[in-house]
Structure 1
Amino acid sequence: MNTIAQSNVARETYWGITSVEYAVFYLLAFTAIAVFVAGVYRRFSRYAEGDDDTFPRLDEFPNRVVNASKIVLSNEKQFNRDLYGGLMHSFILWGFLTLFIATSILAVDGYVYEPIFQGHFWEGDFYLAYQFMVDAMGLLFVVGIGMAMYRRYWVRNHRLWDRHTSTEDDVFIWTLFGLGVGGFLLEGLRVYSAGIPDHEAVSFVAYGMALAFEAVGLPTLGVDQAGLNAAGLNAENLHWLAWWSHSLLAFFFIAWIPYAKPFHMLSSFANVVTRDEKAGRRLPNVPSDLDATNAESIDDFTWKEILDQDACTKCGRCSSVCPAKASDRPLDPRNVILDLKAYREDLDAGGEEQPIIADGGTSVINAETMESCMACMACMDACPVEIEHLNSFTRLNRQMTDQGDVAPSMQDVFQNVMQNGNTFGNSPRDRGDWTEDLEFDVTDAREEEVDYLWYVGDFPSYDERNKQVARSLATILNEADVSFGILFDDEKFDGNDIRRVGEELLYVELAGHHVETWEDCEFDKIVCTDPHSYNTFKNEYPELNFDEFADDPMMPFEYDEQWNDDGEIEVYHWTQAVEELVTEGKLDLTGTELDYTVTYHDPCHLGRYNDEYEAPRELIRATGCELDEMPRNRDNSFCCGGGGGGLWMDFEEEPKPSEERLREALEDTDAGPDVEKFVVACPMCMTMYEDGRKTGGYEDEIEIVDVAELIVEAIDKEDEAKVEVAAD
């Protein structure tokens, strides 16, 4: 490259470097790039060995890239509940990208623009603007690295230290620090050696360092005498040493990227590009092929699930919000993902195969770890790189089910559902008995056309406490004078939670039964009491290809279509339906003034899964109650502990998620002990919190109520809905 005279508003790119060194520099550069390309190729070719993914990941690819770029460049996920972390990562990312772009500009100027136009654009005003931006963003980069080092080594943030924390984490952060600080040192020595030209004041960091060198009297030989033969400690020799140190460190970093933690710069972006926006709320379907395996080997995982493993940055955000980990259950979402990655890499390096998951013995993941998962999706919501934990977790759970490594209590639930169609094991004929204490008849939707086909659910049908909620909701719908009906003994368990525990084929049986039954009914909308039912009917039943199973003699249905794939049938959670009735004036809550201070718990399947936060709150406010928000609310809500089969399992945990949540309501809300009622909108939450109220010693301090019970009291129909529950 031709040099640019120092007297111009520009600078020489390779000042002080001989032609031999110039050749060595580019030999090393090409070597580093070749090692980088080979490593990236090896990584992506490994993904091709993974299984096919159920969902389209590359459709509308340009839009995916644009949307992913917005997410990544805005750092919106990093700012989620962590302002410090968001600023830190933004400074590092934006600074790194600016320095990368700055290097690219130099290459374009020297190898594209100069040969074509016999000149340079990297001079004058452009040069001044360039230098200012590089210094400004470079400073942000160093500040960001400093923030990261402070959090890691001084504060020792608990999220960052675990059994997968390793030397590569230290090498990564110190290499970035060396690149940032080394770049400024190099520039400062160059500006000082050049006589501190006035125009270099735009490089305010380097200019300041040059003034510092001048203040301490650092010797200099002068610009014209710089070179390898200069002897002694002087600015020129220090510049030469800094130049080569900075270059070698940069080459090391480039070559190292595909082989260690820095690869997340590529894999994380690829992971965001290929994300499924409905991940978690819908799960990959199991093939009808009975020979298909779930997690017998690491290659059973899809290429996207393997990419998830490589995208993990060990940030620990998923771990910090996991209710299972907070309750001291043996689950850490980060470690499950990283354990699978470590096993894959060990296997690729010639290590021995072992079971992916097993109940005891030597395996990659212990069965008890996955039994601890509540399927609350908090880990996925917190993950800044869109890792779809629940897909991998469900794959592991399916393997456990295939192997028979399921907890005895869950096996009992499976047996109850298979024999009686409900998780309680009660007679299907008793499913509608809760309606007998109402002062009006509930329509049989199998016999009459209705506007709302109401799926009541297991707990509102069989559990005495939740029967009160069912009667409250029936009273509300009757008061609104809308046409609604239920399926009575043709209603079965929705299948949501047993699917997340791994019993996929039983889930398919239940789904086939329901859609076949619905086909014989006339209705406009499906309304669900339980957010779990709401999620699975809305997001999962339409994904099932019933045609694959219709000819299976083990399947008790003949339905062979794709149900509601066009979304023609609307599925509502009951709070959405009732809010709509209030808005339309069919249910009058005007003037109702319940004099309670309450707090509200967002159910995972209604909130995080389906982004419905306002309907329950609007109904609570409409009753006149004073709503005091929980500190952890909406998408940051803390799971009750009942999801993912947790309702049917016994864990040695302290505290129980339900107990911790009630403590939070009474101690951490603004109203504190003045909170009178803990309001829920989910039958499973009702069950878990009634239990937590007893085991946590909160029986005399707070009452658990459903939103429906508040509304019934507000419209003065409480006596019609309520039947006293006999004491246990």
Structure 2
Amino acid sequence: MNIVAQAEVTRETYWGISSTEYALFYLLATITIAVLLYGVYQRFARYAEGDDDPFARIDDLPDRVTSAAKIVLSNEKNFNRDLYGGLMHSFILWGFLTLFIATSIIAFNQYGTDLLLNIDFWRGDFYRGYQFMVDAMGLLFVVGIGMAMYRRYWVRNERLWDRHTSNEDDVFIWTLFGLGVGGFLLEGFRIYATGMPEHEIVSFVGYGLAMAFDAIGLPTIEGTATDPTYTAVSVLGANAETLHWLTWWSHSLLAFFFIAWIPYAKPFHMISSFANVVTRDEKAGQRLPNVPSDLDATNAESIDDFTWKEILDQDACTKCGRCSSVCPAKASDRPLDPRNVILDLKKYRESLDAGGDEQPIIADGGTSVINAETMESCMACMACMDACPVEIEHLQSFTRLNRQLTDQGDVSSSMQDVFQNVMQNGNTFGDSPRNRGDWADELEFDVADAREEEVDYLWYVGDFPSYDERNKKVARSLAAILEEADVSFGILFDDEKYDGNDIRRVGEEFLYVELAGHHVETWEDCEFDKIVCTDPHSYNTFENEYPEVDFEEFSDDPMMPFDYEDQWNADGEIEVLHWTQAVEELVSAGHLELSGTELDYTVTYHDPCHLGRYNDEYEAPRELIEATGCTLDEMPRNRDNSFCCGGGGGGLWMDFEEEPKPSEERIREALEDTDAGAGVEKFVVACPMCMTMYEDGRKTGGYEDEIEIVDVAELIVEAIGAEEKAKVAAAAD
């Protein structure tokens, strides 16, 4: 081997490369950068062709970039429920960024300092630290790629394999692997061929490879000149210098390919994902885009109806399948995979840009991009958005597709019946508005009319607690609790209508505006301090969406039965609460006595999507349950990982061929996967829709004799001994 080792603590950047090769390298580098920049320009130019987005996306840009950098660099969403995946992606990301920074340092030292400072800092202790960090983070990079390959090819994680899985995914991962391993081989050949300088030991991976080359007797050019036994091998070119040269060019060409390829394939997610996180809506899902008052406005007749942010969502998708793995519709074999909807739209857009034929975006059967039944399957539970590591806002695109279905008249007959009921009677049951307050007749006290007297709480009861027999018991329980706490509360009786939350998510936007206008106009004539909702769906739409509606745009529309022109609760002066939040406040303030010793049940609690994932309220219901004395045994999927009951997004009114039903699967989880197992006596809910779905699932799943479905309010009523006032205990038996 070469016995003359390099003594200076640095290294030659282009060691072994001729001046002609040097010029060729920079010619190729210039072409590569030009191809990259042109591709990125094309991508962002395409976003500019998208429709305007209704939400501010680039306001406070410095803060947005800082926040996005924190999310991306910490990989916090990749660690969510997947430690292996979080570590894997962190190793790849941090390793890749370190190698990119390291390359930039070399370029700056080579050219920038000569031009600006005339200082060569890439030597001595800086060089040692640099080499150690590059090897350490480069090793993490290769380990991360190895973990990804193990999960993809050995374990064959099912969420990584679907109809959009392609050779592109293989080329991407193998190219990264080649870059990582090739970089270490290049380093090892250089260290070995330059005599294994002592200071290079900090490059522990490269130095280790050099020791391996030494152990196998790999010849060098100098070695062939002094040892005749190396001559035959050298003639074939198998010496360290030649192998270094081959590896250098192979590594460089592979790097050029990868850089040039970035804007045209999966690697673009390195740019689009960060841009997507920067431009995210912090209230995505909680609120939907404002309703266009222009009757000629289209929703999804063509791909150009989608906003630039929705197109960016499509490009940001990495096919990781996290959204698919948590989707309750997919788990129940409904024809919905959130990832595929996003990627189907992307594929269609790219086919059009390449000169392909147009086709309907969504329709009931036929050759449409998305089938109607696919979107009808969505429960609007927001699990997909919560799981997405790059902040794709699935619900915004999904609602656009549902709007188009409604415009085309392609919604299911059962949903059309619901629309008709709401239009004619103001409720989803089609019952008379005069009967809306009849649930209170069995109470031992009178419920105030909030239209006629001032109250502390204006209580929005909701459709199911007003008309559904099982949920009427919950309404009476809550009334008894408020009465026991000695607070004034009232309801709107026949002036209360359906809140509109779920029909909006099914696509019936104008009916939603009509309902919202009616309610805010009615509330203006009432005197109250707070609005309290029985249903998390009502709570969400009053808290997050009614304030977003531009009522002035619709005030002159003769089809809209309201004259309200202001923006309701724009400053948040009116507090909107779910009833568990209101009662928890009353307990904390001492207005309601719960000593925590009354009940002795072992229970589990189901987080409603619209209270939990939508609005981050997880503690109030749990504090109330525990305050009754019950032992709360959590299901494995709880809080933001809660599994939807299947009733959201119109699912309550549709019939699906599904096995198992989401409600059945959830009850099974309660009885088999909790620590108490079959010892769980009561399945506790805090949502009327959940109550309805789980009572149904208890019957269809054969669990009627194994567990009881109760609302938090029913536990509290029992704990404070107010059953008689509510008249619910006897009825329940």
Q: Which residue of 1 aligns with 2:385?
A: 380
Partners of 2:367 and 2:169 in 1: CA distance: 28
Q: Which residue of 2 aligns with 1:641?
A: 646
Aligned counterpart in structure 2 of residue 451 of structure 1, from 436, 451, 456: 456
> SS of 2:640's equivalent?
helix
Between the aligned partners of 1:567 and 1:223, the Cα distance in structure 2 is 80
Provide the rounded CA distance (Å) in 2 between the counterparts of 1:279 and 1:84.
28
2:401 is the alignment partner of 1:390? no
Quickly say closer, same or farther: Cα 1:262–1:725, change in 2 above 3 A. Answer: farther
Q: Secondary structure at the match of 1:644?
A: helix
- Structure 2 partner of 1:509: 514
Post-superposition offset of 1:231? 6.1
Q: TM-score, normalised by structure 2?
A: 0.97
Which residue does 2:324 correspond to in 1? 319
**Distance (Å, rounded) in 2 between the aligned partners of 1:63 and 1:483:** 43
Aligned to 1:163: 163
Whole-Å Cα distance in 2 between the matches of residues 460 and 632 of structure 1?
Answer: 27
Deviations 1:391-429 (A, max 9, x none): 000000000000000000000000000000000000000
Give the letter for the 1:85 counterpart: G
Q: Deviations over 1:532-581 (max 9, x none)?
A: 00000000000001000000000000000000010000000000000000
Q: Does 1:406 align with 2:411?
A: yes
Cα distance between partner residues in 2 of 1:133 and 1:222: 31
- The correspondence of residues 4-43 of structure 1 with structure 2, limited to 5 A, is 6-43=6-43
What does residue range 540-579 of structure 1 map to in structure 2 within 5 Å? 540-579=545-584
What whole-Å deviation, never above 9, does each CA across 1:449-502 have from its counterpart, x for those lacking one? 000000000000000000000000000000000010000000000000000000
CA distance in 2, matches of 1:313, 1:653: 28
- 2:130 — aligned with what? 130
Residue 689 (1) aligns with residue 698 (2): no
Query: Which 4+ stretches in 1 moved above 2 angstroms?
Result: 114-119, 222-225, 229-232, 722-728
In the TM superposition, what is the alpha-carbon distance from 1:146 to its structure 2 partner? 0.1
Tell me by how many angstroms 1:671 deviates.
0.2
Q: Which amino acid aligns with 2:19?
A: S
TM-superposed CA distance for 1:518, in Å, is: 0.1
- In structure 2, the residue matched to 1:153 is 153
Contact 1:437–1:723 (8 Å) recurs in 2: no
Pair 656,723 (structure 1): closer, same or farther in 2 beyond 3 Å: same
Aligned partners of 2:474 and 2:711 also within 8 Å: yes
Matching of residues 380-529 of structure 1 within 5 Å: 380-529=385-534
Superposed CA offset, 1:481-528 (max 9, x none): 001000000000000000000000000000000000000000000000
For the residue of structure 1 that corresponds to 2:455, the secondary structure is: coil
**Counterpart contact for 2:291–2:549, Cα < 8 Å:** no
Distance in 2, Cα, partners of 1:232 & 1:42: 44
RMSD (Å) for aligned C-alpha atoms: 1.4
Rounded to whole Å, the distance in 2 between the matches of 1:414 and 1:231 is 80
Aligned to 2:77: 77
Q: CA deviation at 1:119?
A: 4.0
Q: Tell me the distance in 2 between the aligned counterparts of 1:180 and 1:290.
A: 56
CA distance in 2, matches of 1:24, 1:637: 57
**Contact 1:283-1:540 at 8 Å conserved across structures:** yes
- Alignment equivalent of 1:371, drawn from 376, 397, 412: 376
Mapped partners of 2:530, 2:325: distance in 1: 39
Native 8 Å contact 2:333 2:658 kept in 1: yes
For 1:712, the equivalent position in structure 2 comes to: 717
User: Which of 347, 354, 360 is the matching residue for 1:349?
Assistant: 354
The aligned amino acid for 1:155 is V
> What one-letter code is carried by the residue in structure 2 that aligns with 1:41?
Y
8 Å contact 2:458–2:529 — kept in the other structure? yes
Give 2:626's aligned amino acid.
Answer: R
1:650 to 655, 663, 670: 655
| Cα shift at 1:233 | 1.1
Within 5 Å, give how 1:199-210 maps onto structure 2: 199-210=199-210
Q: Would you say the 8 A contact 2:596–2:626 is kept in 1?
A: no
TM-score normalized with structure 1 length: 0.98
Cα shift readout 1:134-191 (whole Å, capped 9, x = no counterpart): 0000000000000000000000000100000000000000000000000000000000
* 8 Å Cα contact 2:647/2:693 also seen in 1: yes
How much has 1:224 moved relative to structure 2?
13
1:61 aligned residue? 61
- Pairing partner for 1:618 from 614, 623, 628: 623
Distance in 2 separating the partners of 1:650 and 1:281: 26
Is the contact made by 1:359 and 1:367 (CA closer than 8 Å) also made in structure 2?
Answer: yes
SS in 2 for 1:468: helix
Query: Could you tell me whether the CA contact under 8 Å between 1:6 and 1:12 is conserved in 2?
Result: no
1:218 aligned to 2:218?
yes
Q: Structure 2 CA distance, aligned partners of 1:645 and 1:678?
A: 23
Partner residue, 1:582: 587
Instruction: Note the C-alpha offset of 1:724.
Output: 7.2
Q: For 1:246, what is the secondary structure of its paired residue? A: helix
Unpaired segments of 5 or more residues in structure 2? 226-233
Which amino acid is the alignment partner of residue 590 of structure 1? S
From 326, 333, 341, the equivalent of 2:338 is: 333
Task: Give the AA of the match of 2:31.
Answer: T
Structure 1, unmatched stretches of 5+, are: none
The CA deviation string for residues 330-375 of structure 1, in whole angstroms up to 9 with x for no partner, is 0000000000000000010000000000001110000000000000
Distance 1:400 1:116 in 2: 61
- How many angstroms does 1:717 deviate by? 1.0
User: Aligned partners of 2:139, 2:569: CA distance in 1, in Å?
Assistant: 55
Partner-residue secondary structure (3-state), 1:572: strand
**Paired residue for 2:290, among 285, 291, 299?**
285
Q: What residue in structure 1 maps to residue 229 of structure 2?
A: none
For 1:451 and 1:117, locate their aligned partners in 2 and report how far apart those are by CA, in whole Å.
Answer: 71
Q: Contact between 2:723 and 2:729, CA under 8 Å: does it hold in 1?
A: no
- How far apart are 1:718 and its partner, in Å? 1.3
| Mapped contact 2:465–2:688 kept (Cα < 8 A) | yes
The corresponding residue for 1:91 is 91
Equivalent residue letter for 1:610: N
| SS of equivalent residue, structure 1 residue 558 | coil
SS in 1 for 2:490: strand
Deviation at 1:591, TM superposition (A): 4.7
Q: Distance in 1 between matches of 2:704 and 2:665?
A: 14
Q: Report the equivalent of 2:230.
A: none
Equivalent residue, structure 1, for 2:310: 305
Cα distance between partner residues in 2 of 1:9 and 1:534: 66
Given the alignment, which residue of 236, 246, 254 partners 1:241? 246
Q: CA deviation at 1:309?
A: 0.1
The match for 2:100 is: 100
Decide whether the 8 Å contact of 1:194 with 1:222 is kept in 2. Answer: no
How big is the shift at 1:727? 10
Is residue 592–residue 715 contact of structure 1 (8 Å, CA) maintained in 2?
no
Aligned equivalents of 2:186, 2:46: Cα separation in 1? 39
**What is the Cα deviation at residue 590 of structure 1?**
1.6
| CA distance in structure 1 between the aligned counterparts of 2:72 and 2:235, rounded to whole angstroms | 47
Does structure 1 conserve the Cα–Cα contact (< 8 Å) formed by 2:6 and 2:195?
no
Contact map agreement 1:193 1:223 (CA 8 A) in 2: no
In 2, distance between residues paired with 1:151 and 1:237? Answer: 36
CA contact (8 A) 1:628 1:671 kept: yes
Q: How far off is 1:723 after superposition?
A: 4.1
Identical aligned residues as a percent: 85
Residue 721 of structure 1 deviates from its aligned partner by: 1.3
Is 1:194–1:223's contact at 8 Å kept on the other side of the alignment?
no
Structure 1 distance, partners of 2:107, 2:6, is 19
Say if 1:50 and 1:302, in contact at 8 Å, map to a contact too: yes
- Offset at 1:593? 2.2
Letter in 2 for 1:499: R
Map of 2:176 onto structure 1: 176
